Every structure is written in structure tokens, then in C-alpha cells.
Structure 1
Amino acid sequence: MSSDQPADETGNQTQSLSLHQRILGDVEGHILSGAWPPGHRIPFEHELTEQYGCSRMTVNKALTELVKRGLIERRRKSGSYVTFPHVQSAVMEIHDVKLEVQSLGLEYSFQLDERHIRKAESRDADRLDLPPSARLLEVTCRHFAGGRPFCFEERLISLAAVPEAETELFETSAPGSWLLGKVPWSTAEHRIRAVGAGRGAAQALDISSGAACLVIERRTWSGRAPVTHVRLTYPGDRHELVAQFAPSPLG
């Protein structure tokens, strides 16, 4: 009997490894094929245990590997879900948020939350360099990816540079998309910061107050005239910035 035991143990180990790879491959296949889209709940561990006729430890090992690969996330007391893919933005380009979302294969939508016209105030000096008498359009909106909050936008638009904005209600296009198609820009400035979500951003993005966020602040000019300032706030775990560059010529 003792001579058979090592073979039996080896057989069990091989079977466990095979089941682990099978679970890993099956779940990964469902995700990569799109059958399980971002936000889809993965079957609970006990359900997978019953489905594959294996131990919970084998299932847990497979799911842990999927977490490491960034394909699923575990939520306490809720289960495991297919992750939303990370977005990569080029630092030196002006991107349309709508195109960012669509590049992920997700349905895009936006909601305009506030829109009002006012005069420039001292607090606006760092955002848009305009005299106190200048008239501004201030808007806030939320962008969604697959029905999930994706980005919170806070924007100032100079009505001297873009007079058409005064009557634009942004019913079919978000402010950023509308501006890109309306006003040619000649210069842009990006400022990028990591911040904890304030109350307004946290509520808009449906995240915890203080959660890590990536904030991109951008100013654009047309010639010497300031056009717009925008602050885009993204949940920090779903966005990253990418820059491509080459060494400058010597001399």
C-alpha cells in the first residue's frame, strides 16, 4: 500500500494543477472574448467548486492569478468582478473622453450636471487668465463607460473666445467634444496630479471620499486668447498616462 501512495499523491497534484489551469483558461476566455464584459460578476467560489468538482483552494488559486493579471477584482462581501480596463492617455495630446471610452469597447454616455454663465472672479486667475469683467461659461458633467462613472469634468469656457458657447446646451455632445470640433487651438498646457477625491468628485464618480484619483488640468489657447480650462478627475485605479519621446539632438 505504501508504494502506491506517492503515485496517488502525484496523481492528485497533477489533477489539481490541471483543474487550476482549466478554470484559469475558461474564465480568462470568457473575459477576453467579451462574453463576460467589464462589471460582470464571476461565479462565486463555491459555485466554481461544484462546477469543476474540485477543492475551494484550487478555485481560489485560479482566481488569485486572474487578479494578478488585472482581469478581475475582488470586492469584499460581494464577490469577484471583471475589471474595467485601464485607459492610457498620451500626455502631449488633447484627447476626447468619448474616444477614450470607445477605444475600450465600452458604451459611452455623458450627463451635464451644471451650466451657468458668470463673470470671471479672482479665484479663476490660476485657471483662465482673463480680466474680472470677462464672461465665462462654467459647466460640470460626468462621463460614463458601460454605465459606470468614468470621469468627472469641471470646465470654464471664455465667451470672448467662443461666443457660440453662450447658447450651446450640450444636449448631443459633451463640452470637450464640442470645443474640439468648434475652435482650433494653438497651444495647450497640462498639469497632472494625484489627489484624494473631494466630496464633489467622490459623489460624481461613486467612489469613497479621499480615494486616490488622477487629475488632469488643461488650459488651451487660440493664438494668444485663452479658450478653456478643464479639470478632469479619474478614479486612480482605472487610468494611466503614457508619453513617447526621443532624445533631443546634440548641439
Structure 2
Amino acid sequence: MDSNDPTPLNQRIRADIEHRIRSGEWPPGHRVPPERELMDLYGCSRMTVNRALTMLSENRLIVRRRKAGSFVRAPDPQIESVALQIPDIPLEVAQRGHAYRFELLSRRRRAARRRLAHEMELAGSDGRVLELRGVHLADGQPFALETRLLNPDTVPEAMTLDFSASAPGSWLLHSIPWTRARHRIGAVAADADQAGHLQVATGTACLALERQTWRGSECVTHVRQLFLGGRYELVASESPITEAGQDGV
């Protein structure tokens, strides 16, 4: 490892182990070296190694078993076999014949929460992330509620851009190349705050889409979007995800 690389050591360890897994050097079922061996290998503390392993577990690349150790996880076929296109919401709304508008609810630099692996991976050199909350509107009505985190070091341009009326996702999609994305989809009931912004009753069913993207080993963004049930559909593509990485985040 490059000792001059400013990237936090735990992230470099995670990236190195992830490369071994994705290259096939460590196949599914392979036992990851014990923490003590990793400490010696990377010349770091147990806490640093543990944080890297936690990130890999959160990314569903390894399984950690108490007393047994950590093992490379087999791909989840029903999730890994399809590649979801990254949507450009303004374009999609316009193609449906509606007038699009983005409303920024809040913008702040805040400390990354240590208990959340994706936030620690997004943290800049000062340990903080840029958090943007906003609502996508179609004909003036809420279409989706979005909370997006950005890595200040990976996309420094975003720190000075005005997103008060333009969606950050569209800017990323057209400006920042990405090489890998992970999606997570689920159904949730809107809490009081979410329901208020979506102008629906508390408990209304929503489609929750979480997405995290990387450029090489650098994490670029994490976004969570809530769509009202019946107003949005997901389209899966069978083309390799690496082909999609020619555009943006």
C-alpha cells in the first residue's frame, strides 16, 4: 500500500480486500485472514481492521461469524443478477409530460456517523459529509423525497454548487463518472416527517430505493429516495453493470 495515499487506512484495507474478492483471488467461502494477521499485514490497530471488515460486511462481500471468523460471501443471485439503471428523475418526469421542479429542504456539512459504514466510507479528510435533502416535484406535487450524502474529497465541486433549484443527482449523473453501484430496494411506511414532505398521511406505503456509487475505490455518493407507491417503477437491465459505468453517478 502507498504510505503517501491520504485515504484513511481502513478504507484502503477495505479496497484491497474487496479487490481480492472481486478479482477471484478470494472465491466465495474463502476464509478471510484473522484480525491479528490483518493487523500485522497492514501494520495497524485492531480497531482499524475491524472497521474495514465492518464495511465489507455492510457491502455484503463477507459474512462475519462469531468465533469462526470472516468468510467471502457468495453472490446473492436474485439481487446481483440484475443491474438497475440509475434514473435521471428530471428527465423521467419530463418524459411523462409533467413539469419538473426540485426543492432543496436542507444543506449541511456534518460529521459522519461512525455506526454507519457507508457514512464512514463517504467521510472526507475532516470526517464530515455533505448532506442534501430535497423533494422532486411533478406538476408541483411531490414525486420523491431524497436524502443524499456526498464525499467532499471525491467531488469537491459539489461543495460550491447551488442545488437549491437543481437536483444533485442529475449533476452527478452527467458530470462524475462512476465504475460501480449498489442498489437496495424495499417497501416502507412514511413516518410523520417524510409524510409531511410527500403530502400524504403518516404510514402511507412508499418504495425506498438506496443507492451507493463508487469511482474506482472512492465512494462518491449515497442516496435514499422515497417514492409514493404507484407513482414509480423500477426497470432492470441484463447488461453488465460495467457497461453502465460510462455515464455518471
TM class by shorter chain equals: 0.5 to 0.7
- By how many angstroms is 1:127 displaced? 4.7
Cα deviation for residue 131 of structure 1 reads 5.5
Aligned residue in 1 for 2:196: 203
TM-score, normalised by the number of residues in structure 2: 0.59
Give 1:105-124 correspondences, 5 Å limit.
105-124=97-116
CA contact (8 A) 1:213 1:235 kept: yes
Shift of 1:240: 2.0
Q: 8 Å contact 2:148–2:224 — kept in the other structure? A: yes
* CA shift in 2, pair 1:192/1:166, >3 Å: same
Supply the AA of the counterpart residue of 2:181. Answer: A
User: Secondary structure of 1:153's match?
Assistant: strand
Tell me the equivalent position of 1:10.
none
Q: Percent of pairs identical after alignment?
A: 45
Q: What corresponds to 2:227 in structure 1?
A: 234
* 2:93 is aligned with 1:97: no
Residue type matched to 2:85 in 1?
E
The whole-number CA distance in structure 2 between the counterparts of 1:244 and 1:93 is 7
Letter in 1 for 2:129: L
- Give the match for residue 142 of structure 2: 149
Moved more, 150-159 or 181-190: 181-190
Runs of 4+ in structure 1 deviating by more than 6 angstroms, as ranges, are none
- The one-letter code sitting in structure 1 at the alignment partner of 2:87 is H
The answer to which of 104-113 and 174-183 deviates more is 174-183
For 1:206, give the aligned amino acid. Q
The answer to whether the Cα contact below 8 Å between 1:128 and 1:228 also exists between their aligned partners in 2 is no
Deviation at 1:243, TM superposition (A): 2.2
Give the Cα separation in 2 of the matches to 1:102 and 1:146. Answer: 10
User: Relative to 1, partners in 2 of residues 1:162 and 1:126: Cα closer, same or farther, differing over 3 Å?
Assistant: closer
1:100 partner SS: helix
SS at match of 1:208: coil
Q: Which runs of 5+ in 2 are unaligned?
A: 1-81, 240-249
Aligned residue pairs, count: 157
Asked if 2 retains the 8 angstrom alpha-carbon contact of 1:134 and 1:158, the reply is no
Q: Counterpart in 2 of 1:193?
A: 186
What whole-Å deviation, never above 9, does each CA across 1:149-184 have from its counterpart, x for those lacking one?
A: 100000000001001111112144211111122211
Residues 202 and 91 (structure 1), Cα distance of their counterparts in 2 relative to 1, 3 Å cut: farther
Cα distance 1:94–1:244, how it changes in 2: closer, same or farther (>3 A)? closer
TM-score computed with the length of structure 1 as normaliser: 0.58
SS of residue paired to 2:196: helix
Larger Rg: 1
Distance 1:207 1:159, change over 3 A: same
Shift of 1:126: 3.8
